[in-house]
Amino acid sequence: MRFFILILCAAIPAYIIGGVNGAIITSKYLYRKDIRQYGSGNPGLTNFYRVFGKGGALLVIVIDVFKTIAPVIFGGWLLARYSDIMLSNVWWFDGLFQVSLFGQALSGLFVMLGHCFPVFYHFRGGKGVMAAGAILIVLDWRLALISWGLFIIVTALTRYVSLGAMVGAAAFPISLYIIGIGGYWELLATSLSAVLLIARHEANIRRLIKGEESKFSFKRKKE
């Protein structure tokens, strides 16, 4: 029982804080508009940039990165601080390589769930790309280098941000397994995070197949 309470103490704050949306906050308080009513309607950085330009994009990034990093670091600290509860009489937890890493990966998953399905905005949120990128930086610089590198390369070659994001997400659990920095539970948490991000791009996948997906441009779209 203490084990599950500890898990909830990391997961619930991560989900709630993850629901804070930088694009919605910035569009409402800086531009007096709601990003969900413009462009694709997605409250994410890409749509924000296409609609409002680079003016408030930095603030969106700061909010989304901070709201992700803070609960991920806290989750890792919390589980490491009470690792005796994690490892005592929980026989199926032996696959863990590092308790703090699991806490970070678990919190990261719930941050993404909060970002994608925020309780503050009727469970209609973004796709979790920025959140996933921030989680990688906390977990391990090598994971961040691989996934961010693939994201940049694929996006630069195709100009499809969605495709770059999905490739980077797929590389997340794969690179974690290859590098060997986590156990079964970290692999499960990161795999679920990757699946969530890719699933949130369902509409983009359909448009990519049809050749109708919008390509990224540094030029702001005119309203």
Average pLDDT over residues 137-142: 93
Domain assignment present for 142: yes
Among 1-10, 77-86, 104-113, 157-166, the least confident range: 77-86
**Interatomic CA distance for residues 179 and 204, integer angstroms:** 30
> Does residue 141 have a pLDDT over 60?
yes
| Total count of domains within the chain | 1
Among 69-73, 135-139, 215-219, the least confident range: 215-219
Q: How far apart, in Å, are the Cα atoms of 153 and each of 36, 164, 167?
A: 28, 8, 10
Average pLDDT over residues 44-64: 88
Among 18-27, 79-88, 108-117, the least confident range: 79-88
8 A C-beta contact, residue 35 and residue 24: yes
The pLDDT score that the predictor gives to residue 81 is 83
Going by C-alpha positions, the residue among 112, 172, 103, 107 that lies closest to residue 142 is 172
The pLDDT score that the predictor gives to residue 42 is 84
Domain assignment present for 119: yes
Q: What is the pTM of this model?
A: 0.86
Domain assignment present for 220: no
Q: Give 80-106 pLDDT, tens digit per residue.
A: 887 766 555 555 555 444 778 989 999
Six-digit token pair at 9? Answer: 């103490």
Query: Which residues fall within 8 angstroms of residue 138, CB to CB, at 6 or more apart?
Result: 69, 72, 73, 76, 104, 108
Domain that holds residue 168: 2-210
Evaluated on CA atoms 214, 198, 73, 43, the torsion sign reads positive
Domain assignment present for 46: yes
Query: Where are the extended beta strands (E) located within the chain?
Result: none
Domain assignment present for 15: yes
**Interatomic CA distance for residues 29 and 177, integer angstroms:** 42
Going by C-alpha positions, the residue among 116, 127, 83, 115 that lies closest to residue 101 is 83
Q: How big is the chain, counted in residues?
A: 223
Confidence band, pLDDT 50/70/90 cuts, at residue 223 = very low
Among 71-80, 95-104, 154-163, 197-206, the least confident range: 95-104
Domain assignment present for 63: yes
> Does residue 70 have a pLDDT over 90?
yes
Domain assignment present for 218: no
> Does residue 207 have a pLDDT over 60?
yes
Confidence band, pLDDT 50/70/90 cuts, at residue 50 = confident
**Interatomic CA distance for residues 54 and 34, integer angstroms:** 16
Going by C-alpha positions, the residue among 90, 5, 103, 52 that lies closest to residue 44 is 52
Domain assignment present for 215: no
